[in-house]
Amino acid sequence: MDNVLDMQDLRYLNLFNKVTKVDTRYCFNYNKNVIFFVDKKLIRKALGEEGKNIRYIGEVLKRRIKILPIPRGIEDAKGFIELLVSPVQFKEISITPEDIIVSAGMQSKAALIGRDKVRLMEMQKITKGFFGRDFKVA
């Protein structure tokens, strides 16, 4: 995966590592949330007892925090995207060798694209990094 980190992402990762004692290299911004990706086995440790780690990080950063499992391959793409965009629902997802195409109703489509295509560009960065494919909303 090609994940280009800027200084802000490095600060987020450093704080996450110090608070949770879980090492990760994957941090993205999506829909004004900071999303950390860790191994599936380490999610409980990262959350902390009764979610105290995630609450503390959220208070420090003044943003909502999500911790999601790292996808193992393209076969995990559907569940991965569902977790990432929740609570937005979509009809179906089709995966081609070049693209990941999400079909949604009008309201969901607007929520997936976002104002000035901000969420669409964020999701394209994430899917390009993890799966090497473009993200499209139909």
User: Can you tell me the distance from the alpha carbon of 105 to that of 90, in angstroms, rounded to the nearest whole number?
Assistant: 7
- Give pTM, 2 decimals: 0.86
How many domains does the chain fold into?
A: 2
Q: Which domain holds residue 16?
A: 7-69
pLDDT digits 0-9 by tens, 18-59: 999 999 989 989 989 999 999 999 999 999 999 999 999 999
The pLDDT score that the predictor gives to residue 3 is 63
Nearest to 114 by CA among 15, 33, 9: 33
The pLDDT score that the predictor gives to residue 117 is 93
Whether residues 100 and 52 share a domain: the answer is no
Write out the two tokens for 41.
């086995």
| CATH number of the domain that residue 123 is part of | 3.30.300.20
Write out the two tokens for 25.
């290299």
pLDDT digits 0-9 by tens, 64-122: 999 999 998 898 899 999 999 888 888 999 999 999 999 999 999 999 999 999 999 99
User: Can you tell me the distance from the alpha carbon of 88 to that of 90, in angstroms, rounded to the nearest whole number?
Assistant: 7
Whether residues 127 and 89 share a domain: the answer is yes
- Reduced to 3 states, what is the DSSP secondary structure of residue 96? coil
Whether residues 63 and 80 share a domain: the answer is no
Among 19, 46, 69, give the residue marking a domain's end.
69
- Phi/psi region, residue 114 (left: phi>0; alpha: psi -120 to 50; beta: rest), is left
Residue 1 covered by a domain: no
Whether residues 65 and 80 share a domain: the answer is no
